[in-house]
Structure 1
Amino acid sequence: MERGDSSESFSSTGGSEIGSSFMMESGFFITSFAATIFVSAIVGVVLLFITLLISLATMLHSCQSRSSGVIQLQKITDDYSYCKVFALHAELNALEADEFPKICKTLAIQYVKEGQYLRDLNLTMSVADNYFCSLAPEKDGLDVVLIDLDDIFLSNPCTHQLNNRLGQHDKNELAEEAKHLNHMLVLGFYKKLQASGWSLILITRKPEKQWNAVQESLIVAGYGGWSSLIMRSDDEMQMETWEYFSRRRAHLQNQGFRIASVISSQLDALTGPCLGKRNFKLASPIYYRLKEQTESILVL
């Protein structure tokens, strides 16, 4: 009976354990707090990835823009250098208008409009001023400075020609700025030479029949006290300008004058014999005649 009871007890106990083991279910349990953290982490990683992509795209675009700007700036610099060299050779060889590159005509307007011409003029005048500060003329009044009058004193040709190409607002603004600075620079230099005892001889390509008008313009502008005003005779009107300047310089030397310097912005006045000991070419655009228009500008 004991064996039977124990066997029966074992059977009933063991059966219950085995039965309960088959009733257990497998699964993964997570709290709501942990799930919130997990989802937030995933969203953060996605946002970080998107931010990284946007940053890389922005950096790439910025690099492309900078590269494009450098290339454009280099092109402008190259164009300006080319036109500057071409202008010099054009003046030396008296080239016609149709031989000038189109890009140079555009840069010529920018050269004056953006103020680079006035800055170059200022620098050149400073070089001449420094040179004469170290010299003293003889007291006999025969040490002279020969000054090309046409594009220095009477008017600013580059401003006059450019006015035909600009709107009214730009026209007035540019004309006033150029006129004021050009007047202050040149007149100041002129007065310094006079105060230092130099005899000033003004020379122009204009005919002698315009003597009264030229003289009045000089006085009104504040340029008085010159030693001589040279203008072209009827015979000289048929000469090349460089020949006219050379002839007049030779005549001055034959009269006993000592030419210390020739100052001009154009090469025809600085060509040929009988030049000064130190000559100065002022910054200025080159003017050349067009078929459709009266004149145009090329940067120098």
Structure 2
Amino acid sequence: MVPTARNGKGELTAQLEPESDFGITITKPGYFPLTDESITTKGFAGDTVKREYKLVPIPYQLPVHVDIVYYDLDKFMIRKDAMPALDKLADLMQKYSFLDLLVASHTDSRASDEYNIVLSNNRAKAVTEYLGAKGIDSDRVRLEWFGESQLVNDCGNGKPCAEDNHQLNRRSELVLEAFPDPTKEYDIPQELKDMDFCEPEDIFEKIQEEINDIPTIYFDFDKSMLRSVHKSELERTAIMLKRMPNLMLYIEGHTDQRGDEATTRSCPSAERRR
């Protein structure tokens, strides 16, 4: 091992033997370690070998994908319509070892607070069990449960609400996070070794390109009200926006060709942009 020291400019220096090969590893808490095994003085005619490095911060708990699965009233069984979303998460977690899942489960306002806490807990556990059957270790799934304390609409106790609005509250929010443990020092994952990323959020872009799940919202003829079927899409987008403050929502509005120009404007579709 070659001893090193810092000069007055803060640069790391060392006396290198001629006609030899060297390596260096640089570590700093909160950053990916950097290793360079290409340093050599073989055939070098100068007096100083210089290298400049840039450490990349570890993007702890970086959300890269969000989805929502829904439940029947008073149930915690995984429904058939939830399986494709969970299967997609299992595939991504198997492909990328640095991704873990946060599951935040909820209920609607019906039944007591105590009952709904237990029910939301069971819903979170049901997601873990489903992913476990797909080969995902439970240590990679972090559970939270909130009962009826975080309703997404004004369907609180005793308030009349349509069933599709109650349905929006019977949910598990699924947040796929990169580098989930802020106390851990991560190496650059093997899956990202060949990726030239300057900013940590480039990892988000890479996963999004693979998933390609930006929602498009459609409207009935001559209407601007949201269809019930699209409300869950916007709920999913809202979760991502809350968890990534640097993410902005770009909205384009379109109509068909019927009607005059004064009335055919701005029925929006959504696209996320950083």
TM range, smaller chain: under 0.3
- Could you say which structure has the greater relative contact order, defined with CA pairs below 8 angstroms and 6 or more residues apart? 1
The structure with the greater share of residues assigned to strand is 2
* Structure with the larger helix share: 1
TM-score by length of 2: 0.24
* TM-score computed with the length of structure 1 as normaliser: 0.23
